[in-house]
Structure 1
Amino acid sequence: MDELIYGVWEGRPYDNRRRPEGESPEGLDLEGFMSFNSGNPVTGFVGPQGFLIFDNRVTLAHTLWRYYERTMKLSCGRCTPCRMGSVVIAEALEKAAKGEGRAVDWELVMEVARQMRETSLCGIGLTTPEALIGALTYFPELLRDAPAQPPVKHDFYAVATAPCIEACPAHVNIPRYIDYIRDGHPELATGVLLEHYPLVGSCGRVCVRPCEKACVRNKVDAPVSIKDLKRYAADHAGAPIEQLFIESEKPAATPVSAHVAVVGAGPAGINCAYHLLKRGHFVDIFEAKPHAGGMARLGIPAYRLPNDLLASETEAIERMGGRYFFEKALGRDFTIDSLLKRGYRAVFLGVGCALGQHLGLPDEDVTAKGYLKGLDFLLDIEAKQTEGVELELDGDVVVVGCGNVAMDCCRSARRLLKNGRVTVSYRRTRASAPADPAEITAALEEDIEFAFLTAPKRVLVEDGRVVGIELVRMEETEPDASGRRGVRAVEGSEFVIPCRYVIAAIGQKMDGSIFCEKDGIRLTRRGTIEVKDDLSTSRPGVFAGGDAAAGPTSLIWGMADGQTAAQSIHEWLLTEDTGFIPRRRMTAMIHDAKLLDHCPAPRAGAVLPTPRHHVAHLPADERIHHWEEVEFGMTDAEARREASRCMRCYRLFAAATLLPIPGKSELEAL
């Protein structure tokens, strides 16, 4: 079928059974609902907005029955309306699907659904009744008089998600692990996180928190402290992360087990290896540095992410049977060809973006003493600290840029400063800065100055030594069609900040020289590895992810790429094709149709405003003198209190299809 037959969407009925010209929900592009996977039409779609039926070969009763079966299984049991209501509804719809709809008291079912919608405690109970209420209001005869659904090969795929889950690149079930913390089980919360990655404590310290921006609690008071709860779970799991992987629990080899080479022991490479090992494959990781962690270790200062914590979590790979080969660099010690000739059936490239960049100003002297690239500055600090060498900066420092790397640079420089001051220059406003706002606040607390709306014009050098930087003041322009403001230089506003160090923290790039022509790896115009949606590259059997494919990104995005690549590699090893992943398809449907964009705020009075917990920090005047971790974790009481702020904003989406859906056993939701 190629159009909507009937349905109820956001409270409005659509009935095209007798209309020559079909009608569909305004603003909803139905094209994305026509097929689930190639050649498999969607017969019906159900969600918190209602339901849509596209094919008369399925009954409404059967489609809704499958949906409320899932609802019943997802009910947490904490409130009676959802716990009992979902059972009543599912049993009634089962009878209807079997042609026994006239034996059902539909008035009672409607009342149960309304009570469930009005009085449940979480999103499952509050939103799933909408489809049934719409059906009973506008199409009651299709439930009462439904014929028995004949035995066919129709399929059904459901995903319970939430705005925070969809915003998380790894699709971690955030409400579930928060539930476990609230109930006093941080070890179970850690188990939820370990389904996705082993760097739980590390991510709980440095995650950029896209989930918190999507948290519906923003509409009440402030988002749940999801990142800090993640750290709490890891810190209170009862054992260090690496000790949760004991040799007796290593996945057993299977007839389809294969040897896979992972190049790069950063977050993407580690998580790719982790998921491949969980599937029973043999994995070797080749790393150019003498230790694992990649940019998470080399580029994130110890006061944010202690090296010993990261090192302990990367040991999980070895406990699962993986092997590290350190100080082995692609392009120097081996090539992609040589790996494949050695018997590796697939290769993952997680080589990162290890090259910093200068400012690119006219006539700049990149050899001048004191003119540093931000990434190189951080790498040098890490190397010297590993060797036990003390570093000092003598004189004023200007950091150009205002991303997270720039914040790491300015806060690190403050700790190295023998005398002088640190200033950050950024061409836009504070509100436009890409850095985590908490990092900017921490920098200000550490007496770092910010010169917003300023841009560099010249690095001033005398006798081969930086002596200052010339900046020009900027002003915002009128908003363009998208609402974004540009900036332009204010004529005649140039001024000089004398300094001995200029640190360019404006980005980094991948070192393309590690590849040779025989590798067969195509690069994009940005100098990153060209990949498809499944993270396969131009060479069959070779995959890539993280910074190398996306450009400089964050730890959570790198780990998400590693998980995706592992799924694709596993399918490749089985079939020499990357296959189909239902969860990825449902994610696209939810995103493209903006089904979570208008997740409503709680009803007035339904949720009481409760202050967000802010973790304590070492005092600024104390922390600037050492590299110890500056954030404290939560206590048990603090974690439970913060976890209780989660509103469990689950939404259940489901697609019914005409034919079986491949890959369901590989990745089921929740």
Structure 2
Amino acid sequence: MDELIYGFWEGRAYDCRRTLNGSAPEGLPITELLSFNAGNAVAGFIGPQGFLVFDPRVTLAEMLRAYYEKAEALSCGRCTPCRMGTVLIREALELAAQGRGSEVDWDHIRAVALNMAETSLCGIGLTTPAALLGALEHFPKMLAEAPEMPQTTRDFYATATAPCIEACPAHVNIPRYIDYIRDGHPELAAGVLLKHYPLVGSCGRVCVRPCEKACVRAQCDGPVAIKDLKRFAADHAGAPIEKLFIDEEAPKQTPVSKRVAVVGAGPAGISCAYHLLKRGHLVDIFEMEAHAGGMARLGIPAYRLPNNLLETETETIERLGGKYYFNRKLGRDFTIDSLFDEGYKAVFLGVGCGLGQYLGLPGEETLVRMPKGYVKGLDFLLDIERVEDLSTLPRLEGGVVVVGCGNVAMDCCRSARRLVAEGSENNITVSYRRTRASAPADPEEITAAIDEGIHFEFLTAPVEIIVENGEVAGIKLVRMAEGEPDASGRRSVRPIPGSEFVVPCKHVIAAIGQKLDRSIFGEADGITFTRRGTIEVDESLQTVREGVFAGGDAAAGPTSLIWGMADGQRAATSIHEYLMTNATGFVARRRMTEMIAATNALSGVKPPRAVVEMKRAKMPHLAPVMRVDNWREVETGLPEDAAVAEAKRCMRCLRLFAVSTLRPIPGKTELEEL
């Protein structure tokens, strides 16, 4: 079937059974919903807006029965309308699916569903009744007179999600771990997070919080402090994250276990190894540095992410049976060919983007040969983090100008603040060509930098580096003016003639971007690259060379820790399927994400009812005077009472989506959120 047969969507019924040119919900891309996986047509789609039926070989009663069976399993039990209502509805629909719909008191079931929709405490109870109520109002005979359907190859897949979950690259069940914190079980909250990645405490400190941007609570009194609650779960799990895994828990090897080589012990590589090890494969990680953690270890200053925390969390890999091989660099100590020659059946490239970039200013070629005082942002951070004792670092004499306003730039300027010589504390400047509101850095990082005495020159751009006797003596900046917004809504900028000025300084740090070091690859590796200079991969994260996968910064360009870990998880799924079936496989959860996005089904999520104002918890931190001359962790973590109160701010905006298909769905258990 290639069109809607009947359905109920956003309060309106659609019945095309007796017409050749029936209507469908306006603005809904039906064609995006007709196929789930290759060769498997979607017979029906159900969500909080209602239901759509595309094939008569699946009955409405059967679809709704499976949907409310999932709703019953998801009910948290805190309120009677949902806890009992889902049971009563599921039992009634079981009778209907058996051809016994005439035995059901449908008026009573309608009353139960209405009560759920009006009085439940969370999104599951408030929104799942919509499909049933629409069916009872417009298609009652489809339930009361449904025939019993014989067992066939039909299948059903459902996932519970929320705006925060869909915004999270790893699709972490955020409301679930917040529930556990609210109920006094941070160890169970940590368990939810460990389903997705092992670097829980690290992510709780440096995550860029895409989930909070999507939080529905932001429409009221501010988003829930999801990142801070993640850190609380890790810090209060009753044991360090790595101690939650014991050697005896390492998955036992089986005859189907395969050897996999992971190149790069950054967030993507560690996450990939973690999920492959949990599936029973043998994994070795090759890392060019002397420590695990990649750019999270070397590029994030200790005042944000203590090195000892990250190092202990990476030990999880060894507890699961994996092995690290440090000081081993691709292209120098081994090649992709040599890995396959050694018996590895698949390779994952998580090599990151470890090269910084200069500013590209006139005369820069000379400075590159004599770069005293002029450094790339990444090199500046790497030189700091490679020092075992940070107290031995040399002081920065003279002024410092950091060009750029991303998170790397913030790490650079705040690190420089901790290194400046006495008397130069207020001589650090950040130059950014756009406004503060346009800066890609975390707004809290900019605020922290200002609190530490760092000066910002917004709407300025570098013109020339002033050089005297082969050393940086200053930087010439020009003021910029904003133009009209482009198609994306972002304003252009242009230099203002005659507005140049010089900032005297001895150090210029270029923090404008980073890129992949392509020199580690040889022609024999068979790897191709995109126009952006990243490794070319397909949807499964497989490169053009069979058996070789890539993810994280190396494939996506400079991102963040959470995106890298999500890529590692995704690649592990593809690698596992490749090893088992010689194909990259299908992930049902990923396809459901595409369908939810296509229908725009979560864009209109609103707070469920009048919300009592509860101010967002503020992360305690060291006062600037206590932190600017040392590398102690600035944020100290939410106390228990504040964390529990913050967890209570979550409105549990869960929504349940499901598809019914004509054939079995492969990969159903991968990343399933139930």
TM over 0.5: yes
Shift of residue 183, structure 1, vs aligned partner: 0.7
Q: Secondary structure at the match of 2:592?
A: helix
- Provide the rounded CA distance (Å) in 2 between the counterparts of 1:502 and 1:180: 47
Paired residue for 2:663, among 626, 651, 659?
659
Which SS does the other structure have where 1:362 is aligned?
coil
CA displacement 1:613-634 (0-9 Å, x = unmatched): 0111100111101000010111
Q: Which residue of 2 aligns with 1:287?
A: 287
Q: Post-superposition shift, 1:354?
A: 0.7
**1:417 alignment partner, SS class:** coil
Measure how far apart 1:387 and its partner are: 7.5
Paired residue for 2:580, among 565, 574, 592? 574
Aligned to 1:416, the other structure's residue is in SS state: coil
Which residues of 2 match residues 150-299 of structure 1 at below 5 A? 150-299=150-299
- Secondary structure, in 3 states, of the residue corresponding to 1:330? coil
In 2, distance between residues paired with 1:320 and 1:658?
Answer: 39
Q: Secondary structure at the match of 1:296?
A: helix
| Deviation of 1:363 (Å) | 2.1
* SS class of match (1:118): helix
Distance apart, 1:142 and its partner CA: 1.2
CA distance in 1, matches of 2:75, 2:14: 30
Q: Quick check: 2:375–2:508 contact (8 Å CA) kept in 1?
A: yes
CA positional deviation for 1:592: 2.1
Q: Does 1:422 align with 2:428?
A: yes
Letter of the 1:358 partner, please give it.
Answer: Y
Superposed displacement of residue 145, structure 1: 1.4
1:402 paired to 2:405 = yes
Matches within 5 A, 1:410-559: 410-418=413-421, 419-420=423-424, 421-559=427-565
Q: CA deviation at 1:581?
A: 0.9
Deviation at 1:240, TM superposition (A): 0.9
Query: CA deviation digits over 1:128-153, x for unaligned, max 9?
Result: 00111111111112111111122221
The one-character-per-residue Cα deviations of 1:234-279 (angstroms, maximum 9, x if unpaired) are: 1111111111111111100011101111100001011111111101
String of CA shifts for 1:317-349, please: whole Å, max 9, x gaps: 111111111000000000000010000111110
Q: Deviations over 1:67-106 (max 9, x none)?
A: 0111111111110000011111111111111111111111
Partner of 2:332: 332
Inter-partner Cα distance in structure 1 for 2:314 and 2:261: 17
CA–CA separation in structure 1 for the residues paired with 2:237 and 2:285: 27
User: Does the 8 A contact of 1:368 with 1:461 survive in 2?
Assistant: no
Shift of 1:384: 2.5
Q: Which moved more, 1:137-146 or 1:126-135?
A: 137-146
Contact 1:165-1:211 within 8 A present in 2 as well: yes
Distance in structure 2 (CA, Å) of the matches to 1:348 and 1:126: 43
Could you tell me whether the CA contact under 8 Å between 2:298 and 2:382 is conserved in 1? yes
Q: Over aligned residue pairs, what C-alpha RMSD do you find?
A: 1.0
Instruction: Determine helix, strand or coil for the equivalent of 1:478.
Output: strand
Q: CA deviation at 1:667?
A: 4.1
The alpha carbon displacement at 1:107 in A equals: 1.1
For the residue of structure 1 that corresponds to 2:45, the secondary structure is: strand
CA contact (8 A) 1:317 1:323 kept: yes
Deviation at 1:388, TM superposition (A): 6.0
Q: 2:372 aligns with which of 366, 369, 387?
A: 369
What is the CA–CA distance in structure 2 between the aligned matches of 1:621 and 1:637, rounded to whole Å? 27
Q: Is the CA contact (8 Å cut-off) linking 1:384 and 1:391 kept in structure 2?
A: no
Whether 1:126 and 2:130 are equivalent positions in the alignment is no
Quote the residue 1:615 is aligned against. Answer: 619
Moved over 3 A (4+): 385-388
Measure how far apart 1:609 and its partner are.
Answer: 1.2
User: How far apart are 1:663 and its partner, in Å?
Assistant: 1.5
Residue type at the aligned position of 2:402: V
Contact persistence 2:123–2:608 (CA under 8 A): no
CA contact (8 A) 1:395 1:501 kept: yes
Aligned AA for 1:611? K
Equivalenced residues, count = 668
> How many angstroms apart in 1 are the aligned matches of 2:501 and 2:625?
30
Please, what TM-score do these two structures have when normalized by structure 1?
0.98
Alpha-carbon distance change, 10 to 221 in structure 1, aligned in 2, over 3 angstroms: same
Partner of 2:643: 639
DSSP 3-state at the match of 1:234: helix
Q: Does 1:306 align with 2:306?
A: yes
Q: What TM-score, normalized to structure 2?
A: 0.98
Q: Secondary structure at the match of 2:503?
A: strand
Counterpart of 2:463 in structure 1: which amino acid? Answer: K
Measure, in 2, the Cα distance between the counterparts of 1:620 and 1:23: 63
Please name the residue that 2:114 is paired with.
Answer: 114
Residue pair 1:374, 1:503 contacting (<8 A) in 2 also: yes
**In 2, distance between residues paired with 1:387 and 1:263?**
28
Which residue is 2:385 aligned to? 382
The one-character-per-residue Cα deviations of 1:560-612 (angstroms, maximum 9, x if unpaired) are 01111111111111111111110111011111221111112332x2x211000
How far residue 386 of structure 1 moved from its aligned partner, in angstroms, is 4.6
Give the aligned residue type for 2:29: D
Per-residue deviation, residues 25-78 of structure 1 (Å, max 9, x unmatched): 111101111110011110000000100000111111111111011111111111
For the 8 Å contact 1:381–1:391, the answer to whether it is kept is no
Residue-by-residue CA offset, 1:533-577 (whole Å, 9 max, x unaligned): 111001111101111111111000000011111111111111111
Partners in 2 of 1:56 and 1:602 — Cα distance? 35
Structure 2 unmatched runs, 5+: none
**Secondary structure at 1:435 match in 2:** coil
Sort the Cα spacing of 1:388 and 1:492 in 2 relative to 1 into closer, same or farther, 3 A.
closer
> 5+ unaligned residues in a row in structure 1: which ranges?
none
In 1, Cα distance between the equivalents of 2:195 and 2:159? Answer: 17
Q: 1:415 is matched by which residue type in structure 2?
A: R
Match of 1:148 in 2: 148
Find the aligned partners of 2:317 and 2:62 in 1 and give their Cα distance. Answer: 45
Give the 3-state SS of the residue equivalent to 1:309 in structure 2. Answer: helix
User: Aligned partners of 1:329, 1:389: CA distance in 2, in Å?
Assistant: 28
Separation in 2 of the partners of 1:636 and 1:322?
34
Give me the identity figure in percent: 69
For residue 156 of structure 2, give the secondary structure of its aligned residue in structure 1: strand
Mapping for residues 573-592 of structure 1, pairs under 5 Å = 573-592=579-598
User: 8 Å contact 1:337–1:519 — kept in the other structure?
Assistant: yes
Cα distance between partner residues in 2 of 1:276 and 1:508: 29
Contact 2:173 2:673 in 1 (8 A): no
Q: Supply the distance in 1 between the matched residues of 2:347 and 2:489 (Cα, whole angstroms).
A: 43
Output the CA distance in 2 between the equivalents of 1:654 and 1:475: 50
- Superposition pairs for residues 28-43 of structure 1, below 5 Å? 28-43=28-43
Structure 2 counterpart of 1:394, one-letter code: E
Task: Classify the secondary structure of the residue corresponding to 1:325.
Answer: strand
Q: 1:226 to 1:667 in 2, by over 3 A?
A: closer
- Give the distance between the partners of 1:80 and 1:611, measured in 2 at CA: 28
Amino acid at match of 2:93: L
- Indicate yes or no: 2:23 matched with 1:23: yes
